[in-house]
Chain A
Amino acid sequence: MFAFIARRTLAVIPVLGVVAVFVFLLLRLSPGDPAAILAGETARPEDIERIRAALGLDKPIWTQFVTWLGALLQGDLGISIHSRVPVATLIAQRLEPTLALASTTIVASVLIAVPLGVIAAWQHGSWIDRGVMVLSVLGFSVPVFVVGYLLIYGFAMQLQWLPVQGYAPIGKGLWPFAERLILPTATLSFIYVALIARITRASVLEVLAEDYVRTAHAKGLPEHRVLLRHALRNAAVPIVTVIGIGVALLISGVVVTESVYNLPGLGRLTVDAVLARDYPTIQGLILVFSGAYVFLNLLIDIAYTAFDPRIRY
């Protein structure tokens, strides 16, 4: 296992290397000019040229790449073209809201979706099963922003139980932190509950038809033990895979929720940086996302061994 973890950790280096080269080139080849954006509406072409030179964007691409790579190897992600704030600082400022939202969403989704999926499979064909499936289809079909606006209208505008928008760091108190995450979490969980519940239902249904489940019933085991110990555990690998993919998607997929609830997270930072062609910020963010994806996949692979002892690395 240790060798596996070491091997996978070392594999991060070439992955990030390829991502770095690819992203760098892609950005330089895509349309848009950060100097023109920075200069503003009334800037003349000669002003833009001067700003481009001041930012080093007039140098050949390979020179820019070597400069960036040199700094990166020393742990320096560069400085935002627009705000002149180090990219590492920008990412650190935005990390907490995204991590908070992603964590609460995944916890809430798992806690709701797995039981729903198991019950739906157990009560296959019943109204409960149909209800869960309807919920699942709704979760896939209704856009996140629509769910967000509806929840805001109901719980923030009409009932006034929760705030419309904003984020309070956990350092400002548990309730201010929690109250601003309830609606975003509910919004974002909607689709993940649908996804995980559906996969859980399908996996558990498949396992329930296995001989060993029939044997467990024949032994006279109570229903909940059959479901949890035998069915769910054996159905866990695909469920964990989906949860893992969900977590990975969440890191960058929170942008709509972050916009609707005005959460200053990494999703919004990414979109803003792309729109402003803030090359160092985009490059830094994508490297961080890539590293996080690789790390999450490693965690998922390790989790497999916990649920299925037959899997060994």
Chain B
Amino acid sequence: MTTHRALLATALVGAVSLAALAPTPAAAETVLKVVKHSALRVLDPVVTTAYITRNHGYMIYDTLFAQNDKFEAQPQMVDTWNVSADKLTYSFTLREGLKWHDGPPVTAEDCIASVQRWAKSDSMGQMLMRFVKDIAAVDRKTFTITLTEPYGLVIDSLAKVSSNVPFMMPKRMADTPHTEQVKEQIGSGPFKFVAAEFQPGVKTVYVKNTNYIPRKEPPSWASGGKVVKVDKVEWIAISDHMTAVNALIAGEIDFVESPPHDLLPILEKAKGIKLHVHNKYGLQGMLRFNHLHPPFDNPKIREAVAYAINQVDYQKAWIGNPKYYQACPAMYVCETPYSSDAGAEGKLKGNLEKGRQLLKEAGYDGTPVVLIAPTDVSSIAAYPVVSKQALERIGMKVDMQAMDWQTLVGRRAKKEPTAQGGWNLFHTNWTAADLLNPVMNAGFNAGGKERGWFGWVDDKPLEDMRVAFAKETDPAKQRMIAVDAQKRAYEIGAYLPIGEYTQPQAYRENVTGLLDTPTTVLFWNVEKK
């Protein structure tokens, strides 16, 4: 008994000693602990289009313009702007009080260098630059963009909300070649990056930028007043979804950006946890053909597939709960400004009979379809299985090759025939904000083998429509062109949308003020009580 008591006493003394050695919490500092959809490693939002890097950009950088929840471009860093009567000269004056995180004021020269660097990487930026004659500083706060001919997407390009976002950087950073990463993390945005605490793939820390002067307007998507209400935001990378969910329920973290749909029932039942979809436009799945090689160099075979597949099958397999998915043939995503069903009549509804008939008419010779299938990305892994089944049911041979996503990313860049390591079909997902019009939607890029996106659609009429859309300054005419472009995209089978889904965010109930966005959840306006 004495021994037991001695042991117990020793254990208690040990526990108390350990507790005493624990550090005292710092003074009341509000720290928001966040688990994003992936770990941050690349810090330059111009070098990569990765969404996590874009999201990092929103923390520390600001933009000249930004979209509000009506898809309208609003001035952000810009105070006033005007366009000449001939629509060839745009003049921008920056807001008073804009400062870089290291102190100096934001100048017109900084913004010019930033726009030029961004435009070398981004598809909308590249299109814009085809029409730009000159970008010049007028004074410290004012600069102009002079065009060679009227262009309808000048402001929309500068207000682009998804990758690559035209974030403003100091000139010394923006002078870095667009293929090399910037070496500093200095922006003028509402948060400052804490370099000393950055551990790639593990943790990223941001603190409130106390010098930031928010706009007076209420926040709306990425526009309006960016009022920071917490002292610190920590992005903690948790690779295991179950662990992230457990940590949220246990109160160790405050917010999970992308809890997988199969874990949502656990979160729905958990006390103190709120689930909400902050991006109601969500994401769209994409089935992409390789237009270079048989059998999908034949438009009729692409059409056969368009009839055979069923959007609902894909989303049932991946999401399951109809609350979070919908069938929608609009290539620009349902409920967005250019949304339309044009060109999709009868397609994407699982009409196997029609698929078989078209396949027969096309003279399909049994060439196996090399379907490259990622097994490690849960949001895409189910799609190839559904496609395989649909294609086989109309009589196609399918060689589904499993691989990790990064291998697929390398493989899909191969233009060679399948016998030499090429491919015929792959799937991916896009956030709606990347698909809103025929210029930004990569699936519409019809520049062929030299200038096209993977799959290499080569179609002059579609490419002409994209340019016409970009040049058009009348919104009503722009819409007509966008609808025609979608018709054409369906006609040639540029790609097939395979349904839309939304991703709810999960967070503790003491976290309030999260804004709706078309991309990622933004952390200004957020309070933790």
B413 A36 Cβ-Cβ under 8 A = yes
C-alpha gap A53/B47 in the complex (Å)? 13
Q: Which A residues are CB-close (under 8 A) to B242?
A: 149, 260
With contacts defined as CB atoms under 8 Å apart, how many contacts are there between chain A and chain B in the complex?
153
Q: Which of the 9-residue segments A104-112, A222-230, A243-251, A264-272 touches chain B?
A: A264-272
Residues of B within 8 A of A41 (CB): 49-50, 163, 428, 430, 442
Q: Using known A-B contacts A47-B121, A173-B23, A175-B18, determine if residue A37 contacts B406 with beta carbons closer than 8 Å.
A: yes
State in angstroms the CA–CA spacing of A264 and B39 once bound together.
12
Q: List 8 A-B contacts (CB under 8 A).
A: A36-B410, A36-B413, A42-B163, A84-B181, A149-B242, A172-B23, A262-B236, A264-B199
A36 contact set on B, CB distance < 8 A:
409-410, 413
Q: Any chain B CB within 8 A of the CB of A133?
A: no
- Give the interface SS of chain A, mostly helix, strand, loop or mixed: helix
Q: Which of chain A's residues has its CB closest to B200's CB?
A: A83
Additional A-B contacts beyond A40-B53, A269-B201 (8; CB < 8 A): A41-B50, A45-B415, A84-B43, A93-B202, A165-B238, A165-B252, A174-B18, A260-B243
Using A38-B48, A50-B179, A173-B21 as known contacts, say yes or no to A261 and B409 having CB atoms under 8 A apart.
no
Which stretch from B100-108, B361-369, B448-456 is at the chain A interface?
Answer: B448-456
Assess the A40–B48 pair: CB atoms within 8 A. yes
Binary A-proximity of B97-124 (CB < 8 A = 1, otherwise 0)? 0000000000000000000000001010
How far does the alpha carbon of A83 sit from the alpha carbon of B43 in the complex, in Å?
7
CB within 8 A of B434: which of A42, A53, A276? Answer: A42
Binds B, one of A69-77, A156-164, A207-215, A282-290: A156-164
Residues of A249-301 contacting chain B, CB below 8 A = 259-262, 264, 268-269, 272, 275-277
Minimum CB–CB distance for B233 against chain A, Å: 17
Closest 6 CB pairs of A and B: A40-B49, A83-B200, A33-B410, A54-B179, A264-B202, A175-B18
Q: In whole angstroms, what is the CA distance A193 to B244 when docked?
A: 28
Q: Is A82 an interface residue (CB 8 A)?
A: yes
Within 8 Å of chain B (Cβ to Cβ): is A119?
Answer: no
- Quick one: closest A residue to B53, CB to CB? A40
Interface residues of B in 152-171 (CB under 8 A from A): 163-164
- The answer to the question of A48 belonging to the interface, with a C-beta cut-off of 8 Å to chain B, is yes
- Bound state CA distance, A44 and B451, in angstroms? 7
Complex Cα–Cα for A38 and B199 (A) = 18
**B181 cross-chain contacts in A, Cβ below 8 A:** 84
Q: Closest residue of chain B to A178, judged by CB?
A: B18
* A143 interface residue per 8 A CB criterion: no
Task: List which A68-104 residues lie within 8 A (CB) of chain B.
Answer: 80, 82-85, 90, 93-94
Question: Of A45, A85, A157, A172, which is within 8 A of B454 by CB?
Answer: A45
Contacts of B70 in A (CB 8 A): none
| Interchain nearest-CB distance for A255 vs B (Å) | 10
Instruction: Choose from A37, A44, A50, A175 the contact partner of B452 (Cβ within 8 Å).
Output: A44
For A83, list chain B residues within 8 Å (CB).
Answer: 41-43, 200-201
Contact call B453/A44, Cβ cutoff below 8 A? yes
**Nearest CB in chain A to that of B403: its residue:** A31
Determine whether B177 belongs to the interface, using a CB cutoff of 8 Å to chain A.
yes
Interface size class of B (residues with CB under 8 A): 35 or more
Write out the residue numbers on chain A whose beta carbons fall within 8 Å of the beta carbon of B410: 31-33, 36-37, 277
Most buried by A among B242, B246, B428: B246
Question: In angstroms, how far is the closest chain B Cβ from the Cβ of A116?
Answer: 20
A42 touches B199 (CB 8 A): no
B479 at the interface (CB under 8 A from A): no
Which residue numbers of B lie inside 8 Å of A, CB to CB? 18-19, 21-23, 39, 41-43, 47-50, 53, 121, 123, 163-164, 177, 179-181, 183, 199-203, 236-240, 242-243, 246-247, 249-250, 252, 376, 403-407, 409-411, 413, 415, 428, 430, 434, 442, 445, 450-454
Interface residues on A, range: 35 or more
Is the CB–CB distance between A259 and B200 below 8 Å? no
| Separation of A90 and B410 alpha carbons in the complex (Å) | 25
Residue A115 at the chain B interface, CB threshold 8 Å: no
Q: Is A11 an interface residue (CB 8 A)?
A: no
Contacts of A238 in B (CB 8 A): none
Q: Could you tell me the distance in whole angstroms from the C-beta of B468 to the nearest C-beta in chain A?
A: 21
| Bound CA span A140–B337, Å | 58
The interface residues of chain B lying within 8 Å CB-to-CB of A82 are: 41-42, 200
Minimal beta-carbon separation of A30 from chain B (angstroms): 8
Contacts of A259 in B (CB 8 A): 239-240, 243
A280–B376 alpha-carbon span in the complex (Å) = 23
B200 and A80 contacting across the interface, CB-CB below 8 Å: yes
Which one of A33, A173, A276 lies within 8 Å of B413 (CB-CB)?
A33
Which of B39, B43, B411, B453 touches A31 (beta carbons < 8 Å)? B411
Contact A176 B23 (CB under 8 A): yes
- Asked whether A43 is an interface residue with its Cβ less than 8 Å from the other chain, the reply is yes
Residues on B with beta carbons closer than 8 Å to the beta carbon of A173: 21-23
Q: Cα distance A90–B198 when bound, in Å?
A: 11
Closest-CB distance, B247 to chain A (whole angstroms): 5
Asked whether B409 lies within 8 Å of A51 as measured between CB atoms, the reply is no
B202 touches A51 (CB 8 A): no
Is the pair A175, B21 in contact by a Cβ cutoff of 8 Å? yes
Q: Is the CB of A275 within 8 A of B404?
A: yes
A164 vs B202: C-alpha distance in the bound complex, in angstroms?
Answer: 16
Given that A82-B42, A178-B18, A260-B243 are contacting pairs, would A42 and B49 also be in contact in the complex, using a CB cutoff of 8 Å?
yes
**0/1 per residue, A146-162, Cβ < 8 Å to B?**
00010010001100100
Task: Enumerate chain A residues within 8 angstroms of B240, measured Cβ to Cβ.
Answer: 259-260, 262
CB distance B238 to A275 under 8 Å? Answer: no
A32→B247 contact, CB < 8 A: no
* From B50, B238, B411, contact of A262 by CB (8 A): B238
Task: Report the bound CA distance from A165 to B35 in whole Å.
Answer: 12
**Chain B residues in 8 Å Cβ range of A43:** 48-49
Q: Max chain A CB contacts within 10 Å: which of B163, B247, B415?
A: B247
Q: A267 to chain B: closest CB distance in Å?
A: 11
Chain B residue numbers with a CB within 8 Å of A85 are 200
Residue of B nearest to A275 (CB): B406
Give the chain A neighbours of B252 by CB distance below 8 A: 163-166
What residue of chain A has the Cβ atom nearest to residue B441's Cβ?
A42
Q: A39: CB under 8 A from chain B?
A: yes
Q: Which residue on B lies nearest to A166, using beta carbons?
A: B252
Cβ contact of B406, chosen from A32, A90, A261, A262, cutoff 8 A = A32
From B49, B203, B452, give the contact of A264 (CB < 8 A). Answer: B203
Give the distance in Å from the alpha carbon of A38 to the alpha carbon of B434 in the complex. Answer: 18
Are A165 and B243 in contact (CB-based, < 8 A)? yes
Q: Find the residue from A37, A48, A160 having the highest chain B CB count within 10 A.
A: A37
Q: How far is the CA of A269 from the CA of B199 in the complex (A)?
A: 11
Q: How far is the CB of A59 from chain B (nearest CB, A)?
A: 15
Q: When the two chains form their complex, are residues B407 and A31 in contact, meaning their CB atoms are under 8 A apart? A: yes
Contact of A51 among B47, B243, B376, B407 (CB under 8 A): B47
Q: Which residues of A contact B200 (CB under 8 A)?
A: 80, 82-83, 85, 90
Chain B residues with CB under 8 Å of A275's CB are 376, 404-406
Cβ contacts under 8 Å, B201 to chain A: 83, 264, 268-269, 272
Whether B123 pairs with A165 at a CB distance below 8 angstroms is: no
